[in-house]
Chain A
Amino acid sequence: RKEVEQDPGPFNVPEGATVAFNCTYSNSASQSFFWYRQDCRKEPKLLMSVYSSGNEDGRFTAQLNRASQYISLLIRDSKLSDSATYLCVVNYLGNFGNEKLTFGTGTRLTIIP
C-alpha cells in the first residue's frame, strides 16, 4: 500500500460546482497534513494546512479524519482558475530526529466553462 494515496483523476467539473477529493495515508503516527496546488510545469504552492478540527479558507475547506486516516479538500463555487493538480502531503516527525514528508501523486482538476 502506498504511504499516501490520491485518486489521480482527472476530475472535470463545471464552473460553479462543488468538488471534493480525498487522500488516504498509511502511517497512523503522521502528525501534520497539507494540501498543495501545482500548476502545469510549475512548483507546488501551499494551499492550506489541515488541522484536526478542520479549517476553511474562503471557498476551500480541509478536513482530517484520523480514525479513518484520510484528509479531504472541498472546493465550493469552483472557478476556472482552480484548474490544477492538488497534492496531498503528510508529515511524520520521528522521535530520533527524522522527518518524513510524503507527497501524494496528485489529483488533477479541470474546471469547465
Chain B
Amino acid sequence: DGGITQSPKYLFRKEGQNVTLSCEQNLNHDAMYWYRQDPGQGLRLIYYSQIVNDFQKGDIAEGYSVSREKKESFPLTVTSAQKNPTAFYLCASSIDPWDRGGNQPQHFGDGTRLSIL
C-alpha cells in the first residue's frame, strides 16, 4: 500500500544531542514537508522540499536541518541548537502543486513524538 512512513514513533533526546527523524514515502510525490505541532497550536512548517536536492526553510527552521537526496526520503535532524524540541513532528507529502493548479492536499505520516530526557 502507498503511504508515508515516519520512524521512530517515539524518540528521546539527551541534552546536546542531535537526533534524526525518518520520513519515507512511496506515493511518488514530488513535494515533502516537515511540521511541528505543539499543544494548543496549529502545525508550523519547519522545512519543505519541492524537488530532489532542493529544500526551503519554513517558518521555524532554526535548530533543524534536512536533506533530500532521494525523492522518497526527507529526513529531519533536530540539532542541539533547538532548545525546545519536545513536540509532535509530522511529515507530509503532496503532488507538486504547480503541476495540478494548486489544489493538492498533503498527506501525513503518523508522526514522531520527541521528548527531552
List B contacts of A103 (CB < 8 A).
Answer: 35, 42-43
Q: Closest CB of chain A to B115's CB: distance in Å?
A: 13
Cβ contact within 8 Å between B108 and A45: yes
State how many residues of chain A have any CB contact under 8 Å with chain B.
26
* Smallest CB separation, B29 vs chain A (Å): 13
Cβ-closest chain A residue relative to B107? A46
Distance in angstroms from A86 CB to nearest chain B CB is 12
**Cβ-based interface call for B40 (8 A):** yes
The residue of chain B having its C-beta at the shortest distance from the C-beta of A45 within the complex is B108
Q: How many A-B residue pairs have CB under 8 A?
A: 55
| Measured CA separation A26–B57 after assembly (Å) | 22
Residues on A with beta carbons closer than 8 Å to the beta carbon of B107: 46
A45 to chain B, nearest CB (A): 7
User: Complex: how many Å from CA A45 to CA B98?
Assistant: 22
A 77-100 binary contact with B (CB < 8 Å = 1; else 0): 000000000010101010001111
A49 and B105 alpha carbons, distance in the complex (Å): 7
A100 to B48, CA, bound (A): 10
Q: Across the interface, which residues of A come within 8 angstroms of B90, CB to CB?
A: 43-44
